[in-house]
């Protein structure tokens, strides 16, 4: 009997691998050739007298109401010149990242065939960590000053933010922006709806970035992923016992959904927790839903959170 079970499990494993390879083979056949424009280089290597030409070429980077003196000052200010130099050191050869974009958008085209292949434009922004990478239909804008490595001397941010200022976070950030644009806003603001909303964009990374680790997808360290896996049942029981799932108390968003150094159970374990554990739980719910229902990724993103929760059959591992 044990040998029979082993053969069955082994057969299922190889069948799963074969299915995955079939999908990946089809993905690899999709023609994608991402074009990259280095606006960061164009801007900082332009002579002041040629600023008007750059403004005509990239009008969307020069909002009305700002005098040219603002841009000329940034071009020549020593601190921004130093940022530019550091970006060029790190990304003098952008080809490896471009190849990552090719792979990503091959997967996007596989699951979302009508999606346009965007042009990627790299910039040096204003150190706005809320806008590191933006997907905007025909454009992807990447602020390279926020991908220099978590230990870079420029960063005066808390560690929970800096840990994601790495090159490997460019693609996950782009997928987050892409997914958010494709997930309809639902009226419910209770905790479980927020969990599943975040779980959808994280599940999109499972399919669009299949080679990435769970830690990279959510922006955790491997240790933080391990903590969540080991405490999944405990966290779920806590949410149930405190009757939080259907609460729309805005404080729950701060405690469990927004980026933070840790989540706030108001218990001794808090310092051991990563932030956004609600998003991680939502991810597991969505994974369970997709395992138990025959649904495409585009359909998933449009499915009501309540339906996903009820049909997910989510049961944490003990």
Residue pLDDT, tens place only, 203-240: 999 999 999 999 999 999 999 999 999 999 999 999 99
Say if CB 86 and CB 154 are below 8 A apart: yes
CA distances to 34, 50, 106, 131, 141 from 41, rounded to whole Å, are 18, 14, 27, 19, 14
Cα–Cα dist 33/70, whole Å: 35
The three-state (H, E, C) secondary structure of 118-178, written as one string: CEEEEECCCCCHHHCEEEECCEEEEEHHHCCCCCCCCCCCCHHHHCCCCHHHHHHHHHHHH
Overall average pLDDT of the 169-173 stretch: 98
Average pLDDT, integer, range 51-59: 95
Supply 245's token pair. Answer: 């799932």
Q: What is the pLDDT of residue 66?
A: 84
Counting other chains too, the contacts that 286-292 makes at CB distance below 8 Å and 24 or more residues apart are 286/196, 286/199, 286/200, 286/202, 286/203, 286/312, 287/199, 287/203, 287/206, 288/312, 288/313, 288/314, 288/315, 289/313, 289/314, 290/203
Q: What is the mean pLDDT of the chain?
A: 93
pLDDT band at residue 18 using 50, 70 and 90 as cut-offs: low
Cα dihedral 19→24→30→31 (10° resolution): -160
- Helices (H) and strands (E) counted in the chain, each on its own, are 16, 4
Return the minimum-mean-pLDDT range out of 4-13, 69-78, 86-95, 286-295: 4-13
pLDDT of residue 20: 65
**Residues ≥6 apart with Cβ < 8 Å to 230:** none
User: What does the alpha-carbon distance between residue 172 and residue 147 come to, in Å, rounded to a whole number?
Assistant: 12
Quickly tell me which residue has 């870079």 as its tokens: 152
Q: Mean pLDDT, to the nearest integer, of 36-41?
A: 98
- Read off the tokens for 306: 């309540």
**C-alpha R_g of the chain:** 22
What per-residue confidence (pLDDT) applies to 45?
96
Q: Tell me the average pLDDT across 7-13.
A: 47
Instruction: Name the band, by pLDDT with cuts 50, 70 and 90, for residue 19.
Output: low
How are beta strands 119-123 and 139-143 bridged, if at all?
parallel
Whole-structure pTM value: 0.91
> Would the pLDDT of 4 be above 70?
no
Confidence band for 272, pLDDT divided at 50, 70 and 90: very high
Contact 259, 164 (CB under 8 A): no
Assess whether pLDDT exceeds 60 at residue 10. Answer: no
| Dist. CA 251–CA 266, nearest whole Å | 13
* pLDDT on residue 43: 97
* pLDDT greater than 80 at residue 314: yes
- The yes-or-no verdict on residue 191 having pLDDT over 90 is yes
Residue 140 burial by CB count (10 A; 0-12/13-18/19+): exposed, middle or buried?
buried
């Amino acid at each position: 009997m044990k040998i029979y079970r082993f053969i069955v499990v082994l057969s299922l494993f190889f069948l799963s691998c074969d299915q995955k390879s079939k999908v990946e083979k089809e993905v690899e056949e999709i023609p994608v050739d991402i074009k990259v424009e280095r606006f960061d280089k164009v801007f900082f290597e332009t002579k002041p007298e040629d600023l008007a030409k750059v403004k005509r070429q990239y009008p969307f980077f020069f909002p009305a109401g700002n005098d040219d003196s603002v841009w000329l000052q940034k071009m020549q200010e020593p601190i921004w010149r130093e940022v530019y130099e550091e970006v060029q050191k790190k990304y003098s050869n952008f080809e490896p990242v471009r190849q990552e974009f090719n792979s990503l958008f091959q997967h996007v085209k596989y699951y979302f065939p009508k999606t346009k292949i965007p042009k990627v434009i790299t910039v040096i922004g204003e150190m706005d960590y809320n806008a590191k990478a933006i997907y905007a239909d025909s454009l992807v804008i990447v602020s390279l000053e926020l991908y220099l490595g978590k230990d870079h001397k420029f960063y005066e941010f808390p560690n929970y933010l800096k840990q994601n200022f790495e090159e490997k976070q460019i693609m996950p950030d782009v997928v987050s922006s892409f997914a958010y644009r494709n997930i309809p806003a639902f009226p419910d603001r209770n905790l479980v709806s927020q969990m599943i909303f975040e779980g959808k964009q994280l599940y999109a990374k499972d399919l669009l970035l299949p080679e990435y680790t769970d830690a990279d997808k959510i922006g955790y360290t491997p240790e933080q992923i391990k903590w969540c896996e080991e405490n999944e049942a405990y966290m779920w029981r806590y949410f149930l016992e405190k009757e939080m799932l259907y609460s729309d108390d805005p404080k729950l968003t701060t405690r469990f959904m927004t980026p933070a150094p840790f989540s706030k159970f108001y218990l001794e374990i808090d310092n051991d927790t990563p932030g956004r554990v609600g998003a991680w739980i939502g991810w597991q719910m969505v994974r369970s839903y997709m395992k138990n229902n025959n649904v495409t990724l585009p359909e998933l993103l449009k499915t009501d959170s309540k339906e996903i929760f009820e049909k997910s059959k989510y049961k944490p591992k003990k």
